[in-house]
Structure 1
Amino acid sequence: MLLEYWLIIHNLAKCKILDDVMCHCCKRFAETPLHAVWDCGATQDVSVGSITSLQNWSTCCHDFRDLFESLMDRLQKEELELFLVQAWQILNQRNAVIHGGHLREPGWLNKRAEEFLDEYRNAQMVFTPSNESSGSCIWRAPLAEEFKLKFDAAVFSNQHCSGFGAIVRNSSGEVTAGMSVKGPYVNSSKEAEVLAC
């Protein structure tokens, strides 16, 4: 992802869409993936300010891959996940700077990164289905080389919106595609399910 970002920056400069490849935050060095998320003085305090094992850690990495490998050795899984979300936040903020915005302070970026990561982790929680059956309907896998689409809708009264989701499974029961989307406020789940169709 970061290598693609760097290539895009350089291609935009080559096409004269960006004036140059210099960092738009510190304006002193070329914008590389390593510089963007680690070396730039404008963003250095983000990870170091929240991940204790990175404080007072100096590294001389040649590129982002070296940095990532070093971080994989140094950080616990949860810290590495936080670093990656922070890197994503930093890249979003740097993009805002390119388009006339400003960098938010490191504390705000750290808080948002932790919120995003918590939201992701909560969404990954596996729910155990109850033994109670609401009907006699049992899911069966589709025949070989066929797929089965399941969709549903929900009403979120406290948020004044609805939500729609769909999942596609193959003949082995494996999920091959899925999606969810926020919808308009509706009065009942029946109305939401009609919209989902």
Structure 2
Amino acid sequence: MELRPSSRAIPPVTLEDLARDPDLWRLVRHLVDTDGVTATLGRWLGYAPRLRLLERSEGPVAHSLRALLHAQGTERAQDRRIQFLTCHDEVVMDAQAVVVTNRLPLEARHCLRTTDTSLGTVLAGLRPRRHTLHWEALPAAGTDRAAVLEVTARVDLCATPVAWVSETFQLVALTSRRRTGGAR
């Protein structure tokens, strides 16, 4: 499984820049601190975002993630790439999740293998805990206004690592949806 490359060639937005826009700063804090991104986006948008499953594959846990996920060399994982969409089909988040499926209950494994349901929705009733490993807000070209938020996190169930996630949030789309109540 290959991990998606980052767009870190652009210098990050500073905390001072984010703090100048209270609505944006609140959104960033919620996305970085949440245990459930799907529910957080739903509350922010005022409706549940639609999901588009782009890719789903099974294979060994990537060597670069084995230590982080406490995975043995023989453990397998599902690599999922999805997009979260507004009701107008505007992409507000791209995500990749590497899930060590044998650590999940049978029903959760079945759901991840057969549906496009988000990992957050599948795990919600199991009380997952997200640990943000890194986050960075990146500006739009030629500005200091945050346009993209990249978050990398590990998801645990009962203190056992079950997934690594990489998420790219489109902040401009999310804040414009919020200010217009989701309407165009």
Scaled to the shorter chain, the TM-score interval is under 0.3
TM-score, length of structure 1 as denominator length: 0.25
Structure with the largest fraction of strand = 2
TM-score, length of structure 2 as denominator length: 0.26
Structure with the largest fraction of helix = 1
